[in-house]
Amino acid sequence: MGPPAHGQITQATYSIAAPGVPQGTTVTDPRDEVWTSIWIGVSATQGDASNSLYQPLFNWSPDQKSQGCSAGADEWCVAASTYTSAGQVAQAYVPVARDAPVDFEITVHNTHVHQSVRVDGHRVSHQSDPLSHPLRYLYSADECYTGSGTCGSLPSYRWTNITIVLSEADPRFGQTLALVGAASSPSGFSTADGGSSWHAAAVVIPVDDFAAKH
């Protein structure tokens, strides 16, 4: 979603009930583990690796310890995280039980971007990074690293209570929403203040069969 006509995204908040973990994964070499991530992130551009992507994320692997997480096989791991041109900068993973309520906040303050992750109302991960360029896009992905096997199928899930705050009002910002396979409920984002803040009750992500993509 983006860019706004003027200014930048100054805050994004959203929630999720930790979904079911991927099913049907295969691994042939434990030294090259499969992993799956789901995330919403904000960046100055959409998909340009030269700009930082601030993306607190969920991660899962058949061997969670290989990813530095103590979660069980039926749990996700979560952490504040930023992808930079020099690589991933992230906090330690924290286990998240299925259906646990998780709240995310990304906020720009002065020259830094602050991330906060809360599980059951308790902050479990946070990170502050330099703001590389004004943030103009918010987007999400299901990400699969096949490693030595396959990622299987990711059950459907939903991002909820999504709010985006802009530094300058843009009454047409909601029209920049582009959903590929997903669906928002109700339809699209709405504003109650002339375009300074935008809200959607939920964005539903359908079952993602990674095997069908390869």
Tell whether pTM > 0.75.
yes
Amino acid in position 155: P
- Tens digits of per-residue pLDDT, 62-87? 999 999 999 999 999 999 999 999 99
Residue 32 token pair: 């090259």
Place of tokens 């020259």: 111
Residue 58 token pair: 């969920």
The verdict on residue 23 lying in a domain is: yes
The verdict on residue 2 lying in a domain is: no
Q: Is the pLDDT of residue 213 over 80?
A: no
- Tens digits of per-residue pLDDT, 134-158? 999 999 999 999 999 999 999 999 9
pLDDT grade for 211, boundaries at 50, 70 and 90: confident
The verdict on residue 53 lying in a domain is: yes
The verdict on residue 190 lying in a domain is: yes
Q: For residue 31, give the DSSP letter.
A: T
- Give me the domain span that covers residue 151: 9-213
Q: How far is Cα 138 from Cα 40, in angstroms, rounded to an integer? A: 7
The verdict on residue 99 lying in a domain is: yes
Count of Cβ atoms closer than 10 Å to residue 214 Cβ:
8
* 143: phi then psi, degrees, rounded to nearest 5: -120, 135
pLDDT grade for 187, boundaries at 50, 70 and 90: confident
CATH number of the domain that 62 lies in? Answer: 2.60.120
Q: How far is Cα 5 from Cα 196, in angstroms, rounded to an integer? A: 11
SS3 state of residue 213? helix
The verdict on residue 3 lying in a domain is: no
- Tens digits of per-residue pLDDT, 84-105? 999 999 999 999 999 999 999 9
Q: How far is Cα 33 from Cα 166, in angstroms, rounded to an integer? A: 39
The verdict on residue 4 lying in a domain is: no
The verdict on residue 124 lying in a domain is: yes
Residue 23 token pair: 């099913």
Number of domains, the chain? 1
Q: How far is Cα 190 from Cα 197, in angstroms, rounded to an integer? A: 8
